[in-house]
Structure 1
């Protein structure tokens, strides 16, 4: 059986993406699991190689068919979008546009079945906007490029999986966007994703919005009863094993303990904070609902340390492994 081809986008060229890619691809075990190919700028990867001291060569190619997939030589579909002196640790329109183009090219390959999964290095939302691409982040960008309506962000860490009803919006806007229909769709996405992964009857738990999940109307304005309870009941009536809404301050502990297989979080920080407490180096971001496989590191561009060589590559390595695990079986 052939190994899946995993396409790694370089992310913002001024961030830590080039460094974590070169560090990750220094691990020969990844080449035993998959055939990795980078989409980015070869010259930036070469600079990153010098910074982190991986002593890998970069094989600049124009098409996936030219890839060698040999350990020690990083295949890079070279879009040649940025200058070598673009520098690290700063926001620029040039870098933001390049990051968009890397993702766009990866999507083209995935949609045409040239690659079996996409793993994305971090982008800067500010740079993306300066480059003329007004997306809140990777998730929304990928959804638009694939024409996907029902999608969600899922984060994984050891002993914890979290899926989000809303993500990159302010808290007031998030509460407005939370509806019984959206909560139900997120529960269904969680159920279908875990079922495809082999868990035929996953245990799902849903967070409340307010402290103590509203405590029967004591806190908030009845959001739990209006927006969450009907969605949970509908899912239960369909045979899905789901509980909630429960207070977020205790259910994450229970989920880590093993009481639940996945948590449905209502907004960005409610779901992100517990994952990141467990360790940035182990966290992986997975977009579910897309027609393609997409995983990502669960950290940002880290402009403050970009170009220093000290960044930890473990999250990227885990994201690549997750993409391999999710990739369809090949004949």
Structure 2
């Protein structure tokens, strides 16, 4: 493989777009995005995954399939979408809607390749397609998802998952954790760090200080300890006080059941949520096809779709590409800043 020049010397940024688990909708979404001038006029998407399976899906759905790169020189001399083959799969053995250890290993390898390419500055950022977490587990991966793998591979400890859209943005204090484990994992310092990262990211996008709303953990934000073990008083309020001392416009802790009303959304730019579903249920209800997953705190740009593999829609041509398109467009914007 030839030595690549830095991604920043390209006329347009080069992005690694992993196709996700090929038993799901990821390959179709990636292929559809390579057909959009809104994408190809602004970046060179490199689809990363099992090339033979991607070609099979493209032929099945009558979608144009980019050329498969033979070596990195093929990529460097072109601004056209291309496929970088990763993952040794028998295309005929893969079935729509049936992920397994082999498809999981292929999608894991694709993400690992994309991360390394971004670290080496061969690409300006990565966009990840939807994976099947059970398939990663079957393939022997010790990480529950993209976010934890990204943090480990880039060597960071202060990182957060943020889902963002024009309507609503949510940054998570804990990510893929069982509900029973959440209270013991919350720390004042982790709330403060999540708020700082979310505030900084959204402020850059808005061009002004982002307004932060911090949620309580319990019903009614604990109701003064009646419905809690004092998490709001012991852990969350001190974080809010610290953020206020730092000059961040912050409100909270608010009761989760009223924090997402239209009136509160009008005065909130980013929510700090204590656990996964606390933030992602309202976000997906309001902006399912428009939201983008951004990993904050990484030394590389990473965005992702806000949905899963949609196995019931795999290879049918009925899956919406809008979240993938939004993820690519946001990666382009982040890479430019």
Alpha-carbon distance between aligned partners in 1 of 2:264 and 2:25, rounded to the nearest angstrom: 30
TM (normalized to structure 1)?
0.94
Paired position in structure 2 for 1:69 = 79
Alpha-carbon distance between aligned partners in 1 of 2:71 and 2:19, rounded to the nearest angstrom: 16
Alpha-carbon distance between aligned partners in 2 of 1:82 and 1:125, rounded to the nearest angstrom: 18
Q: Which of residues 311, 314, 324 is equivalent to 2:319?
A: 311
Change (3 A) 1:175 1:62: farther
Paired position in structure 1 for 2:12 = 3
Q: Is the 8 A contact 2:17 2:129 kept in 1?
A: yes
* Residues 1-331 of structure 1 aligned to structure 2 (within 5 Å): 2-54=11-63, 56-67=64-75, 68-70=78-80, 74-85=81-92, 86-254=94-262, 257-329=265-337
1:43 Cα deviation (Å)?
A: 1.2
**CA offsets 1:36-61 (integer angstroms, 9 cap, x no match):** 1111122112112123222x133111
Q: Is the 8 A contact 1:255 1:261 kept in 2?
A: no
**CA offsets 1:174-211 (integer angstroms, 9 cap, x no match):** 11111111111111111222233353421101000011
Q: Is the 8 A contact 1:23 1:52 kept in 2?
A: no
User: Counterpart of 1:39 in 2: which secondary structure?
Assistant: strand
Alpha-carbon distance between aligned partners in 1 of 2:264 and 2:111, rounded to the nearest angstrom: 33
Q: Is the 8 A contact 2:167 2:286 kept in 1?
A: no
Alpha-carbon distance between aligned partners in 2 of 1:202 and 1:195, rounded to the nearest angstrom: 5
Alpha-carbon distance between aligned partners in 2 of 1:263 and 1:64, rounded to the nearest angstrom: 41
Alpha-carbon distance between aligned partners in 2 of 1:328 and 1:115, rounded to the nearest angstrom: 12
Alpha-carbon distance between aligned partners in 2 of 1:15 and 1:280, rounded to the nearest angstrom: 18
Q: What are the ranges of 5 or more consecutive residues in structure 1 without an aligned counterpart?
A: none
Q: Is the 8 A contact 1:154 1:163 kept in 2?
A: yes
User: Counterpart of 1:309 in 2: which secondary structure?
Assistant: coil
Change (3 A) 1:63 1:205: farther
Q: Is the 8 A contact 1:45 1:58 kept in 2?
A: no
Change (3 A) 1:255 1:66: farther
Alpha-carbon distance between aligned partners in 1 of 2:288 and 2:248, rounded to the nearest angstrom: 31
Aligned positions, number: 325
Alpha-carbon distance between aligned partners in 2 of 1:269 and 1:80, rounded to the nearest angstrom: 32
1:120 Cα deviation (Å)?
A: 0.4
Change (3 A) 1:259 1:322: same
User: Counterpart of 1:252 in 2: which secondary structure?
Assistant: coil
TM (normalized to structure 2)?
0.92
Q: Is the 8 A contact 1:158 1:278 kept in 2?
A: no
